[in-house]
Amino acid sequence: MQNKDYLLPGVAAILVAVAHPIYWLGMSPSVGDYDILWQDMMSLGFSDILFASILLLTIYIYLNLKNILNEQLNFNHIDLLVLIMVAINTLWLGTLFLDIASAVLPENIVTQNKDAFLKINLSVGIGAIVILGIIDLLIGILLLAKSTELPTLLKIFAIMSVIQGVIGMTVFLSVTLIFIFPITMIILAMFFLRKPESLELV
């Protein structure tokens, strides 16, 4: 196994680290303002492409994290959690269909269902943040349980996962993830791009 095998996940993690704050800082005016959020839902634009790209890349990154832990460290304790994370991110990605529906359906139908669209969008978004927070916390705990055998970068990642998890579960503090999540992605990028180690965890 050469480190070049995980070059693309490493690059993907760097891209997410850059795109994540750009997207969420750009969306910050819509937080708590239903009118701005509705205007965003009524059209398809660069922010939607960025949102989809972040979620798809995140799915790709965590699936590769699962693979590298299995292949290089014989560690499969977080496999199920990663798969649940993939499912939640896919569901969150599905909210883009509301944007598509708002853009293509007749205006009278869209207007009549405005409240329903907004409630679904917000409920899925908040629910995803909370559930992903729980998953992050559990991933961090499971990795830290083997911390004496983990490479240093994975120890740091595990600590960041715990921090992310606690913050995500509180919801009201989740705004700080705009800056914390990119740090986690940079750490993962460094882990993917490092020289492989031949440790084995059991």
Distance CA 65, CA 79 (A): 9
Answer whether residue 98 is part of any domain.
yes
pLDDT confidence bin for 202, thresholds 50/70/90: very low
Does residue 109 fall inside a structural domain?
Answer: yes
Q: What sign does the CA torsion over 137, 138, 139, 141 have?
A: positive
Q: For residue 69, what are the contacts with CB-CB under 8 A and spacing of at least 6?
A: 75, 76, 78
Instruction: Report how many domains make up the chain.
Output: 1
Using pLDDT thresholds of 50, 70 and 90, give the confidence band for residue 100: confident
Query: Rounded distance, CA 37 to CA 19, Å?
Result: 20
Q: Please check whether residue 199 lies inside any domain of the structure.
A: no
Query: Is there a domain that residue 99 lies in?
Result: yes
Question: Does the pTM exceed 0.85?
Answer: yes
Question: What is the domain extent for residue 93?
Answer: 3-193
At residue 32, the pLDDT reads 60
Residue 43 or residue 137, greater confidence: 137
Q: Identify the residue whose tokens are 């492409």.
A: 49
201 domain-assigned = no
> Region 129-137: what's the mean pLDDT?
96
* Inside any domain, residue 202: no
> Is residue 182 assigned to a domain?
yes
Orientation of helix 152-170 relative to helix 177-193, angle to 10°: 160
What's the pLDDT tens digit per position in 20-68? 999 988 877 666 656 666 676 667 788 889 999 999 999 999 999 999 9
Which residues are within 8 A (CB) of 168 and not within 5 positions of it... i.e. 6 or more apart? Answer: 129, 130, 132, 133, 134, 136, 174, 177
Tokens encoding 16: 């997410």
- How high is the pLDDT of residue 34? 61
